[in-house]
Structure 1
Amino acid sequence: MKTPHDLVLAAKQTVLEIPIDKAPAVIAQNDVLIDVREAEEFQSGHLPGAIHMSRGMLEFKLAANPQYQSRDLKITLYCKTSGRAALCAQSLKEMGYSHVSSIAGGFDAWQAAGFHVEKPVAPSFD
């Protein structure tokens, strides 16, 4: 019986993982950067320019939006540490997307590298 860890390791064998030091350059060349974490995680901080599509809804949201249906899109995915993103990248490859990558180490590695994180600004009622 496979564990979730086994599934992640298998996915990482089939998808392109971008080293954190190369991530900003790759993102700049891509069409879309997708945060596949949960909504609460995204709201607490995310990579600049990222859109949110949680892992559970990713395939459905891409399929439903004409802007994201081209299988030639250059897509980079990330999550907290890279496991969910690898599983998502594998799934998108199976759907026929040909230019999919994930960020090695995910959001945690991005922060540890000192890269900018966007955080929503709370409304002021003063």
Structure 2
Amino acid sequence: MKTAHDLVVAAKARIREVSPDEAEAAIAKADVLLDVREAEEFAAGHLPGALHVSRGLLEFKLGGTPALADRGLKVVLYCKSSGRAALAAVAMQEMGYTDVVSIAGGYDAWLAAGKPVVRPEAPAFD
């Protein structure tokens, strides 16, 4: 039997990961930046320009969203620490997407590198 960790390690062996610094250039060239974390994680903060598609619904959203149907799209994926994104990248490859990369270390590495994020503004109670 395999563990979740085993599945992630196997997925990472099949995909291309880029560092947060390399991700900036990849994002600039990408057609879409996908955040595959859960909705509450996305709402707490995300990369500028990211589209939220939780990992659990990824295959269904890709199949049901015409703007994401082109298998030649340049896609950059991320999650919190890169495990879910690696699994998502493998799923996308299996669906025929040909240009998918994942951010190594995910959102946590992006933050640690001091890269920009979008965070909700707290309401003013003046």
TM-score, L = length of structure 2:
0.96
Query: How big is the shift at 1:121?
Result: 2.5
Which 5+ residue runs of structure 2 have no aligned equivalent?
Answer: none
Deviations 1:22-72 (A, max 9, x none): 111110000000000000000000001001000000111111111110000
Name the SS for the 2:49 alignment partner.
coil
1:30 to 2:30 alignment: yes
Which 5+ residue runs of structure 1 have no aligned equivalent?
Answer: none
Q: Which residue of 1 aligns with 2:102?
A: 102
Query: How big is the shift at 1:125?
Result: 6.8
Query: How big is the shift at 1:21?
Result: 1.6
Structure 1 consecutive aligned stretches of length 4 or more whose deviation exceeds 6 Å: none
Aligned residues: 126
TM-score, L = length of structure 1:
0.96
Q: Which residue of 1 aligns with 2:55?
A: 55
The correspondence of residues 75-86 of structure 1 with structure 2, limited to 5 A, is: 75-86=75-86
Deviations 1:89-109 (A, max 9, x none): 000000000001100000000
Query: How big is the shift at 1:123?
Result: 4.8
Q: Percent same amino acid at aligned positions?
A: 63
Cα RMSD of the aligned pairs, angstroms, is 1.1
Name the SS for the 1:81 alignment partner.
coil
